[in-house]
Amino acid sequence: MAPEKRVTIRDVALAAGVSPGTVSRAMNDSPLVNEDTHRRIMRVVEELDYTPNVVARRLSLGKTLAVGVIVPFFTRPSVSERLNGVVSLLATSQYDLVIHNIETPEQRASCLTEIPFNEQADGILSISLTPTDAEAERLAEADLPMVLIDGDHPALKGVHHQVTVDDVAGGEATTRYLIELGHTKIGFVGDHHDNPFNFTSSRDRYVGYQRALREADIPVRAEYLEENQHGRRLARESARHLLALDDRPTAIFAASDTQAVGVLEAAREAGLGVPDELSVVGYDDVEIADILGLTTRRQLLFESGRRGVELLLQTLENPGTERVFETLPTELIVRETTAPPQG
Amino acid sequence: MAPEKRVTIRDVALAAGVSPGTVSRAMNDSPLVNEDTHRRIMRVVEELDYTPNVVARRLSLGKTLAVGVIVPFFTRPSVSERLNGVVSLLATSQYDLVIHNIETPEQRASCLTEIPFNEQADGILSISLTPTDAEAERLAEADLPMVLIDGDHPALKGVHHQVTVDDVAGGEATTRYLIELGHTKIGFVGDHHDNPFNFTSSRDRYVGYQRALREADIPVRAEYLEENQHGRRLARESARHLLALDDRPTAIFAASDTQAVGVLEAAREAGLGVPDELSVVGYDDVEIADILGLTTRRQLLFESGRRGVELLLQTLENPGTERVFETLPTELIVRETTAPPQG
DNA sequence: GTGAGCGTTGCAATCGGTTGAATTAAACCG
DNA sequence: CGGTTTAATTCAACCGATTGCAACGCTCAC
């Protein structure tokens, strides 16, 4: 009834007639305590409804029992799906999840430079962020287990795993698909390839796009590239430009499903039928793609998060683990927004 | 270069020629330290790149400097938007955000009964969860500041704020809108009103729906209510049933935008034109509603999260704060899926 | 009967801060 | 100039667990 103070290990010790140390050992199932004593202590623990103070444990163990997740724009469906994978697995472990969302370049900088050093986490998961060289250097110093999900840096030293997708290959294959359909005039709607967050996926997909065109001896036309900030609205504007060109593309490759939606909207505005007059293909395969029947390249978002945590937990258990670089496969999901060009 | 051990407060004290206590006070801007000393200490802090160990602070202060967020299915767009509001404000505070996602009824139970007691957080935010009477009782015992966002319990004692939406009123107003358009045959597609998560929003909106019908002297027909688990796919099935009725509804009110999308899909399958042959209205106004031109009732998702944190932080700063119950407004956003019934 | 060995348990230091009380030094005043 | 106030700092206990080491009681062997 009364706001009774929290039960500590000493209370238990007193009630059980042993020392705090023994209670601690009993709680942690140390083989050093007698079975009877163990049972007796556990009974008292039950009675008093004792749960160890996590903060004290942390200090004592020198471990925080938490992992930090650094994630930009976690409300974006693709990101949130990765995060979902992270959460799903982490929930089964003893580790807490501390979230650091990034919405501005400043936040990005401070997260990447401070979080790994302030001893708030035993390990770090970074989602969709690519460290710069300087950042990578500094991160290496922290020597904190870190896993990069959908983001890589070749020079990262120390215990750093990576779970990525080959965006160049994905972009190339997707573009090739359009070429095989017969398209030669293919537009690209993506992020700013030089951006303060150092997001690289759009840029890499464009590199793949160029590669596919070159392989097919199709010239890469500068006016077919539209860079913009991420988002449906802005992608719509980008697409408007493409569709207003004298020699407009017959297909548009959007760097994400979100942007593809903007492209679809622009097409509707322009009175262009999809896929007859314009083919549109996205990237990610989030739910909206299914809803709209968008052809897209699927990547394993949920799995990437899950696998990232798996690697991190492995490293935490067993610090000797070797670095792992994993590349997850992608898959083209053909729906109703792509077709051979007209005529 | 070497993996130098972490700098502690004692190192700083030594280097600055003072005692650890003084360093502590200097770090916390206590007026008890001389200005010169303060400056000197801060210089050393800079040089050694010292940052206080948060875990140790926590133990010492008896505060965790973290708030826990309990949230079911955080990948659902409406939920993630609320969470976004939470994160946006919390990022500016000194508090960390520890996430507890709920995907099963068991997780729900354990979160609601354990989290508030394991001293891992100074305060709790609960999103879209309605405690049962028994849970409310137990929660009151924890006497931990807690804010319910989109979830309420009239009997919650202690320092508990609530930020909710009046779902009954929202459901009623939305239904009235359809009635005013001329509809009398209005279907309802929602969650199971009796569900293991104790989600209440769909049920409440249905209560409002009934109320609106009664006020307009329109009989409430049992066959016009379709309950199902949450989700687009299942909502589609529910809608199929409604549309297959001999006397099918001319309008369908979905308890969420996600479910409304399922309804739209069912309409397309059935070859029914929207809005001419079938009106559809959703709830939430998440992005998909905008994309699809769905008429819906907007609630302030982001703001609810933000306001919830605001209240929690207020309480943490100033434990004497009075309880606040807030009801956020909703607004009908008319787009292209609603029209008067045919004929 | 004494010492070695084993299984248990207690003791006390430790993790890295915070904070109330004690202490010192400077300042002020009649 | 002694006494008292005031400011600045140190000291040491404390938060609540963990853990290496010492110590204890017992058994068994020689």
CATH architecture of B167-300: 3-Layer(aba) Sandwich (3.40)
Using a 7 Å cut-off to protein CB atoms, list the covered nucleotides of chain C: 7-12, 14-20
Average pLDDT over residues A223-252: 97
Residue A91 to residue B101, Cβ atoms within 8 A: yes
Please indicate whether the domains covering A9-52 and A167-300 agree at the CATH topology level.
Answer: no
Band of residue A342 on the pLDDT scale cut at 50, 70, 90: confident
Instruction: Give the domain ranges of chain B.
Output: 9-52, 66-165+301-328, 167-300
pLDDT tens readout for residues A259-304: 999 999 999 999 999 999 999 999 999 999 999 999 999 999 999 9
Q: What's B66-165+301-328's CATH class?
A: alpha beta
Query: Between chains, do A87 and B74 touch, taking CB under 8 Å as contact?
Result: yes
What's the CA B210/C1' C20 distance, rounded, in angstroms?
A: 64
Where residue A3 falls among pLDDT bands split at 50, 70, 90? Answer: very low
Cβ-Cβ contacts under 8 Å, B88 against chain A: 101, 103
pLDDT score recorded for residue B5: 65
Task: Tell me the CA distances in angstroms from B155 to A2, A305, B160, B202, one per residue in order.
Answer: 19, 40, 10, 21
Residue A146 structure tokens = 């870190």
Report the protein residue whose CA lies nearest the C1' of nucleotide C19: B21
CA distance B74 to chain A (A): 8
Looking at every residue in chain A, the average pLDDT score rounds to 92
At A135 the pLDDT is: 85
What is the CATH superfamily name and number for domain A65-165+301-328? Response regulator (3.40.50.2300)
User: Considering CB atoms only, which of B80, B117, B120 is closest to A80?
Assistant: B80
At A56 the pLDDT is 93
Q: Tell me what pLDDT residue B152 has.
A: 78
Q: Are strands A123-127 and A66-72 parallel, antiparallel or unpaired?
A: parallel
Cβ-Cβ contacts under 8 Å, B64 against chain A: 55
Residues B211, B164: Cα–Cα separation, whole Å: 20
Tell me which residues of chain A have a C-beta less than 8 Å from any C-beta of chain B: 3, 6, 51, 53-56, 58-59, 64, 66, 74-75, 77, 80-81, 83-84, 87-88, 91, 96-101, 103, 107, 117-120, 143, 232, 261, 265, 287-288, 291-292
A34 touches strand C (CB under 7 A): yes
* Confidence bin at A129 (pLDDT 50/70/90): very high
**Residue pair A287/A77 in contact by the 8 Å Cβ criterion:** yes
| % of chain A beyond a pLDDT of 70 | 98
- Contact between A22 and A41 under an 8 Å Cβ cutoff? The reply is yes
Interface with A, mutate which of B48, B93, B113, B291 (most A CBs under 10 A):
B291
Using an 8 Å CB-CB cutoff, list chain B residues near A6. Answer: 119
Per-residue burial over A194-220, b if 16 or more Cβ lie within 10 Å, else e, is eeebbbbbbbbbbbbbbbbbeeeebee
CA angle B308, B310, B313 (to 5 degrees): 110
Nearest CA in chain A to B84: A75
Q: What is the pLDDT of residue A136?
A: 84
Asked whether the beta carbons of residue A84 and residue B91 sit closer than 8 angstroms, the reply is no
**Rounded CA gap, A36 and A40, in Å?**
6
Q: What is the DSSP string of B17-64?
A: TS-HHHHHHHHTT-TTS-HHHHHHHHHHHHHHT----HHHHHHHHT--
In CATH terms, is domain B9-52 a member of 1.10.260.40? Answer: yes
How far: B55 CA to D7 C1' (Å)? 32
Per-position DSSP letters for A96-131, written without gaps between them: EEEEEEE-SHHHHHHHHHHGGGTT--SEEEEES---
Chain B interface mutation, best of A55, A70, A84, highest count of B Cβ atoms under 10 Å: A55
> Higher-confidence residue: B102 or A3?
B102
A12 CB-to-strand C distance under 7 Å: no
- Give A226's strand partners: A189
A231: left (phi over 0), alpha (psi -120 to 50) or beta: left
Please tell me the distance from the alpha carbon of residue B282 to that of residue B290, in angstroms, as a whole number. 11
Q: What is the mean pLDDT of each run of 10 residues along chain B (343 residues)?
A: 69 93 94 92 93 92 91 94 95 90 92 79 92 84 87 76 94 98 98 95 97 97 97 98 97 98 98 96 97 97 97 88 92 98 84
- Does nucleic acid strand C have an atom less than 7 angstroms from the CB of B28? yes
Which stretch, A105-119, A324-338, B98-112, has highest mean pLDDT?
A324-338
What is the pLDDT at residue B216? 97
pLDDT band at A5 (very low <50, low <70, confident <90, very high): low
Predicted confidence at residue A134, as pLDDT, reads 85
- State the Cα–Cα distance between residues B152 and A62, nearest whole angstrom: 39
Please tell me whether the peptide bond between B72 and the residue prior to it is cis, using omega within 30 degrees of 0: no
CA A197 distance to own-chain centroid: 14
Is residue A206 over pLDDT 80? yes
- Under the banding of pLDDT at 50, 70 and 90, the label for residue A78 is very high
Sign of the CA dihedral with B98 first, then B321, B154, and B222 last: negative
Q: Which window residues (46-65, chain B) lie with Cβ within 7 Å of strand D?
A: 59-60, 62
Q: For residue A163, is pLDDT > 60? A: yes
Of A340 and B140, more confident: A340
